[in-house]
Amino acid sequence: MITYWKDQFDNKKIVILGFGKEGISTYRFINSITDKCLIQIMDQNIAQPDNQVQEIDTSIYFYPKERYLDFDKDVDLVFKSPGIPLMHIKGLIELDKVTSQSNEFIKVYKDRIVGITGTKGKSTVSTLIYELLKGEGMNVELIGNIGKPPFDYVLEKDPSTFFVYELSSHQLETVRVSPKYGIILNIFQEHLDHYASYDHYAEAKMNIGRYQCEEDTLIYSALDEEIPKRLDGYKGKLIPITKDEAGRAGLIVTPRGIDLIGDFNTVHLDQNLKRHLLGDHNLINIGVAVYITLLLGYNQSKTREKVIETFPGLPHRLAFVARVNGVDFYNDSISTIPQATIAAVKALGNVDSVIIGGMDRGVDYGCLVDYINNNEKIKVILLPTTGHQQYSRLKHPDRLFLAKDMEEAVAMGMRITVKDSICLLSPAAASYGVYKNFESRGRHFESLVKHLL
């Protein structure tokens, strides 16, 4: 493997575009492989190396800030960090020179990777697959969008390691190779500030299986109308998630649960399966995770049910916070799209009030407006910006409450929510502009709730 990497990097002029967590990882990796290349750093937020950068290497060359995206003509490779939109560099350098850790890592390790993507659910599915395989005694690592950058594992892991790779659209937009096992859970409107259009976003997601060969496998949701119509020309074995029992192949969702059917003994996951992951959408997530273990040969598992029963879920995803004077507060700050909020309300089932609103990224809120209007008993606490924007579209204004910030929203939730029911934070919007990320928003909500105790 080291010889392969040396051949890729030796005598090359390489630009690392973006010098955050992944950019620093890329620099360290290339520098550990060879000293026969020129590495240059380009980051619009760094004019001069700070102390942290100097600790890595005092000789790091940074493009001047005013030359951001002004590439030298003789650059051989550009390692793009996920946070930089590909559309920002189109026309500025040949796109066949643009690569990423994801692209280079999958090239080498594709036969030992299951890659997971989707607008929602990918972190939960990735982590559950990891826990299930670890429970079977497999040598497995969780990497990518949820873990460390993949290059951090190249030099330290046993060659037999299997990788569970959570892949965002930002990581997938530069790949020209797909993992042996791919999963695409759904495609909703999201990150529209990062892409020229929704179609560009969706097509980035579809790279998870676009480059597979006949020996590879792609699990996809046929319940999402966007995905099947984008599969023309895909060569991997296609495994659908469907409600079509006549098909009798793939993951069949029924009122009783999910049947997992393939080249193994059929496994049934009952609707009443013991689990912390609530809701029909999470039963599908569990089914997808189990299906991967079946493809890897773990048909007669002795640990599967225990792992599923004890898996607590991830923070800020339908997470119980506290019961205050008879009101149960739940944190679903991960909800950054309308469909996620609808799924959260359905999963909990006893929601009396829901807090929505956040950054406007051009997402269509029609489905959430319709859902709330058809469920007039639900009280809605509306935060800026998107929450306030929906006020005029929602019926029965006596159950609508405008809040200026999270502090006021939590206080309102405590005041208006009926005892023995739920006040749910499920914003259906990004957190940016007020919070660094959805995690910081969720932590703030939890601290405010616990202050009520």
Q: What is the pLDDT of residues 133-163, one digit of tens each?
A: 999 999 999 999 887 899 998 877 677 899 9
Give the per-residue pLDDT at 249: 83
What is the DSSP-derived secondary structure letter of residue 411? Answer: H
Q: Identify the three-state secondary structure at position 26.
A: helix
Q: Which of 120, 152, 116 is nearest to 132 (CA)?
A: 116
Domain 319-451 superfamily per CATH: Mur ligase, C-terminal domain (3.90.190.20)
The CA distance from 94 to 216, in Å, is 30
Name the band, by pLDDT with cuts 50, 70 and 90, for residue 316.
Answer: very high
Q: What is the CATH number of domain 102-310?
A: 3.40.1190.10
Q: Domain residue spans in the chain?
A: 2-99, 102-310, 319-451
158 touches 71 (CB < 8 A): no
Tell me: pLDDT of 313 over 60.
Answer: yes
Break the chain down into helix, strand, coil percent, rounded to 5.
Answer: 35, 20, 40
Token digits of residue 50 = 């700070």
Count of CB atoms situated within 10 Å of the CB of 169: 25
- The CATH class for the domain spanning 2-99 reads alpha beta
pLDDT in tens, 5-51: 999 999 999 999 999 889 999 999 999 999 999 999 999 987 665 55
Phi/psi of residue 77, each to 5°? Answer: -140, 140
Close Cβ partners of 13 (under 8 Å, ≥ 6 residues apart):
37, 38, 40, 72, 74, 75, 76, 77
The CA distance from 438 to 336, in Å, is 8
Tell me: pLDDT of 245 over 90.
Answer: no
What is the DSSP-derived secondary structure letter of residue 447? Answer: H
133 touches 140 (CB < 8 A): yes
pLDDT in tens, 175-193: 999 999 999 999 998 766 7
Q: The pTM is what? A: 0.93
Rg (CA), the chain: 23
The CA distance from 190 to 174, in Å, is 18
Exposure of 254 by Cβ count < 10 A (0-12 exposed, 13-18 middle, 19+ buried)? exposed
Q: Where are the beta strands (DSSP E) in 109-256?
A: 113-117, 140-144, 162-166, 181-184, 217-221, 237-242, 250-254
Count of CB atoms situated within 10 Å of the CB of 407: 13
The CA distance from 355 to 383, in Å, is 7
Exposure of 160 by Cβ count < 10 A (0-12 exposed, 13-18 middle, 19+ buried)? exposed
Count of CB atoms situated within 10 Å of the CB of 94: 10
pLDDT in tens, 406-430: 999 999 999 999 999 999 999 999 9
pLDDT in tens, 365-411: 999 999 999 999 999 999 999 999 999 999 999 999 999 999 999 99
Q: Which of 98, 101, 84 is nearest to 25 (CA)?
A: 101
Query: Average pLDDT of 267-293?
Result: 97
Give the per-residue pLDDT at 194: 80
Q: Where are the beta strands (DSSP E) in 243-289?
A: 250-254, 257-262, 264-270
Give the per-residue pLDDT at 95: 94
- Most confident of the ranges 52-56, 196-200, 416-420: 416-420
Token digits of residue 91 = 């026309």
114 touches 138 (CB < 8 A): no
pLDDT in tens, 323-345: 999 999 999 999 999 999 999 99
Q: What is the largest CA-CA distance in the chain?
A: 69
Close Cβ partners of 295 (under 8 Å, ≥ 6 residues apart):
181, 217, 262, 264
Whether the upstream peptide bond of residue 385 has omega within 30° of 0, thus cis, is yes
